[in-house]
Amino acid sequence: MFFIALFGLITAKNAIKTIVFTLVMQTAVIMFWLFLSGRTGTIPPIIYDPALLYDMAAIADPTPQALMLTAIIIGISVTAIKITMLNYLFRRYNTADWELMHKLSAQEEAENPYS
Amino acid sequence: MLTYFVIIPVLIAVFLFVFATNKAARVLAILFQSVFVILSLYLLWETRSGEIVVVIGDYDGFMGILLRAYTTSAVFMVLCGIIFLAVAVYSFNQSDSRTFWFLLFILQSALVGLFLTRDLFNIFVLVEVATVIVTILLMYDKKRRNMLPGLIFLMLNIVAMLLYLFGIGYIYMLTGVFDILRAGELLAYAYPGDLVIPYALIMTGIAFKCSIIPIFSFLPKVKLYPKAPSAVAAILSGVQIKTMVYMFIRMQEMFGGFSSHSLFLAVGIAASLTGVIMAICQTDIKMILAYHTMSQVGLIIIGLSAGNEYSMLGGLYHIISHATFKSALFLSAGIIVHSYGTRDVYKIRGVLRRMPVVGLVTLFAVLGITGAPLFIGSISKYFIAATVPFWLNATVVIISLGTIISFIKYAGVLFGKDPGIEGIAVKPDIWRVVPSAALGAFCLVGGIFGGFLVNFLFAADAVIDTWGYIEKALIFFASMGAGLLIYKYIVYGNATLKRIGGLNLGFRSVCASMAAFFGLMVIFVGLF
């Protein structure tokens, strides 16, 4: 999944698609982390069961899950910033295509160099 | 005590944003920055008698988050404080809003946290915070048309940090701890085959962030510099990249014997060579400086990966010297651009006559970066090349030659006749001259007392061999002559070079190159 997303990042022409692929990549990393914490047969660490309280092998490792919450929050906020910036660019150039955006910004640059 | 270094800047940021008026905010900001410098100097003094470790939360051992201050990190904190103080003074009259100070303090908190933390996941969080804030600082002025390179910069950095996050997942799977030192101890027992993928993932992320992968990692960043405010450019080039170099050192330490020094030696050489070649091709004064960041970071990586004590010291000292002269150059370039109204290196002439102090600062910093004897760059370059094999020594000399050529072009702005046309010809703002002048003066001081400073800061006892140093000085003058000739007959006004300098890569090609580098690393590390 991670490398599918990487492939997507390389090939996607549209900036919106690129943002979506970054999200896919992030989900892949989060899934990987959750896979680290939960082996088959373990229970989630929020279920309170006195019998299993001190049985480390039965409870899934809560640390990666806690960390992934942080990572998800970071991902959301960063995506918000990216979309805001893209929105600004879209209003300016009227396109979300990487190559067209590059071309238009290079034109602007050529019209008014060193300023 | 270490916790306060991270928390208090955040509190101050909020305080300034909510309570202070715009005018009061800038005075208070400078005051706090000065206090920060003094406190970090005190911390440096404390670490002399042993490292300080603080556990956040009441957990024993490696369950909590550990902060650790030792000599190197304390030195970097002092450096960070000094550059931020200079930037704060520089922006005194320039920034009329509290938002700037707010962002500046949050950024400082994140960078200090990066220098202190021992926790792998904290590094991820703090780097993301720093990236976002730097992006916002660069986007701050919408008129500057910085949005497209800014978006590419942000997205690529996010991808690089996702690679890093994936890598630390593997580390956690193998060791079960997030503490860098403890993970390092445990990884020594791991089966080497298991380490290939995490090493490649983490180092691709880090190498991308400190822009040592030749060209493609730096190209998106370099487009940002010309239009960025000089103060932000100074922070970006002076401190932010240094935090990633520091991460590079620690990651190499964490992987211990597994880490590949020869690969990064090659990468460093490639980075510095491409950096100087691209710098020679530029005609925009800020672009020249930006590409030199890449070449100097490459030189630092050469020093760190060469694998002997002296080169390591040289690499560490070069971090300090690069931060000093590059901030001095960026700050003075800001004044020059403001006064002349253009960034074309061929159009600006006669800075020494129009603004003597700024001209002198530029001259000192240029001498520093080219490694002129008695200036700060010469000491670190001497240490990097002191005990390395001949071919590496020759490479360093070639890199210096390239540096000299492009800075002959840069120093052209100092002399000649003042065009006086586009100039706004105002007297330069005293608040902007003073910090640049202080940093420029340090280029000379750090060179003259270089040997003493290296030993004092890094608690080492390295000796500068007088004859070796004189030999280096002779090489410098020889390459100065060669550089002048090459510049006059080949570089000046060459159209082909200008075309190379205009090279541009889009987001997709950069991503492809990152993936290629990752693949290369897996193959290289897996085989050797």
Burial (CB count within 10 angstroms: exposed 0-12, middle 13-18, buried 19+), residue A46 = exposed
What's the pLDDT at A48?
63
- Least confident range of B79-93, B96-110, B342-356: B342-356
Q: What is the CA radius of gyration of chain A?
A: 21
What's the pLDDT at A114?
58
Last residue of a domain, one of B98, B118, B138: B118
**Residues of B whose CB is below 8 A from A9:** 159, 507-508, 511
Instruction: Report the DSSP beta bridge partners of residue B284.
Output: B344
Q: Which two tokens stand for residue B523?
A: 């193959």
- Let me know whether B84 and B160 are in one domain: no
Last residue of a domain, one of B88, B118, B148: B118
Residue B269 to residue A84: CA distance in whole angstroms: 38
C-beta separation of B251 from B474 below 8 A: no
DSSP string of B395-422, one letter each residue: HHHHHHHHHHHHHHHHHGGGSS----SS
What's the pLDDT at A105?
76
- Let me know whether B111 and B45 are in one domain: yes
Residue B318 to residue B382: CA distance in whole angstroms: 10
B79-104 mean pLDDT: 84
For residue range B464-521, list pLDDT tens digits in order: 777 777 877 888 888 888 888 887 777 666 667 777 666 667 777 788 888 888 888 8
In this prediction, the answer to ipTM > 0.95 reads: no
What's the pLDDT at B141?
67
C-beta separation of B518 from B163 below 8 A: yes
Q: Which residue of A has its CA nearest to B342?
A: A114
Most confident segment among B49-63, B396-410, B418-432: B396-410
Last residue of a domain, one of B95, B118, B141: B118
Inter-chain touch B159–A22, beta carbons under 8 Å: yes
Q: Which residues contact B442 (CB under 8 A, 6 or more apart)?
A: B324, B328, B376
- Residue in A2, A63, A74 closest to B125 by CB: A74
Mean pLDDT for chain B overall: 82
What's the pLDDT at A40?
63
What's the pLDDT at A39?
64
Give B95's pLDDT tier (boundaries 50, 70, 90).
low
Inter-chain touch B128–A19, beta carbons under 8 Å: no
CB interface of A with B, residues 73-102, below 8 Å:
74, 77-78, 81-82, 85-86, 88-89, 92, 98-99, 101-102
Residue B292 to residue B273: CA distance in whole angstroms: 10
For residue range B250-278, list pLDDT tens digits in order: 888 888 777 778 888 888 888 888 888 88
B339-352 mean pLDDT: 77
A107 at interface of B, judged by CB pairs closer than 8 A: no
pLDDT at position B422 over 60: no
What's the pLDDT at B289?
86
Give B367's pLDDT tier (boundaries 50, 70, 90).
confident
**How far away is chain A from the Cα of B443, in angstroms, using its nearest Cα?**
29
Nearest to B329 by CA among B299, B300, B288: B288
Q: Provide the residue ranges of all domains of chain A, joining segments of one domain with +.
A: 2-111
Extended strands (E) in B46-169: 52-56, 65-69
> Which of the residues B346, B511, B514 would you substitute to probe the A interface, choosing the one with the greatest number of A C-beta atoms within 10 Å?
B511
What's the pLDDT at B218?
67
| Percent of chain B scoring above 70 in pLDDT | 90
C-beta separation of A66 from A37 below 8 A: no
For residue range B208-245, list pLDDT tens digits in order: 888 777 666 666 666 677 777 888 888 888 888 888 88
What's the pLDDT at B96?
62
What's the pLDDT at B92?
81
Inter-chain touch A105–B145, beta carbons under 8 Å: yes
**How far away is chain B from the Cα of A50, in angstroms, using its nearest Cα?**
23
What's the pLDDT at B424?
55
- Let me know whether B412 and B360 are in one domain: yes
C-beta separation of B142 from B148 below 8 A: no
Q: Which residues contact B27 (CB under 8 A, 6 or more apart)?
A: none
A11 at interface of B, judged by CB pairs closer than 8 A: yes
Number of CB atoms found within 10 A of residue B198's CB: 23
- Least confident range of A60-64, A69-73, B82-86: A60-64
- Residue in A11, A78, A108 closest to B158 by CB: A78
Inter-chain touch A82–B151, beta carbons under 8 Å: yes
Are β-strands B65-69 and B52-56 bridged in parallel, bridged antiparallel, or unpaired?
antiparallel
What's the pLDDT at B211?
79
Q: Which residues of B96-134 are buried (b: 16+ CB within 10 A; e: fewer)?
A: eebebbbbbbbbbbbbbbbbbbbbbbbbbbbbbbbbbbb
Q: Which residue of B has its CA nearest to A105?
A: B148
Interface size A-B, in CB pairs within 8 Å, comes to: 90
Q: What is the dihedral of CA B336, B211, B377, B461, to 10 degrees?
A: 150
A33 at interface of B, judged by CB pairs closer than 8 A: yes
- Let me know whether B330 and B420 are in one domain: yes
C-beta separation of B373 from B473 below 8 A: yes
A12 at interface of B, judged by CB pairs closer than 8 A: yes
Q: How many domains is chain B built from? A: 2
Vertex B71 angle, CA B67 and B74, to 5°:
60
Nearest to B299 by CA among B203, B408, B401: B401
A58 at interface of B, judged by CB pairs closer than 8 A: no
Q: Which two tokens stand for residue A85?
A: 């910036």
**How far away is chain B from the Cα of A89, in angstroms, using its nearest Cα?**
7
- Phi then psi for A43, rounded to 5 degrees? -100, 155
- Let me know whether B144 and B131 are in one domain: yes
- Residue in A2, A81, A92 closest to B154 by CB: A81
- Let me know whether B112 and B256 are in one domain: no
**Residues of B whose CB is below 8 A from A106:** 504
- Let me know whether B188 and B334 are in one domain: yes
Q: Which residues of B make CB contacts under 8 Å with A? A: 121, 124-125, 128, 132, 135-136, 139, 142, 145, 147-148, 150-151, 154-155, 158-159, 162, 165-166, 169, 172-173, 284, 342-344, 504, 506-508, 511-512, 515
Q: How far apart are the first and last CA of chain A?
A: 44
- For residue B236, what are the domain limits? 119-527
- Residue in B147, B169, B511 closest to A9 by CB: B511
For residue range B33-82, list pLDDT tens digits in order: 899 889 888 888 888 887 788 777 666 666 667 788 888 888 888 899 99
**Residues of B whose CB is below 8 A from A19:** 155
What's the pLDDT at B174?
85
More confident residue, A94 or B501: A94
pLDDT at position A56 over 70: no
What's the pLDDT at B354?
78
What's the pLDDT at B406?
84
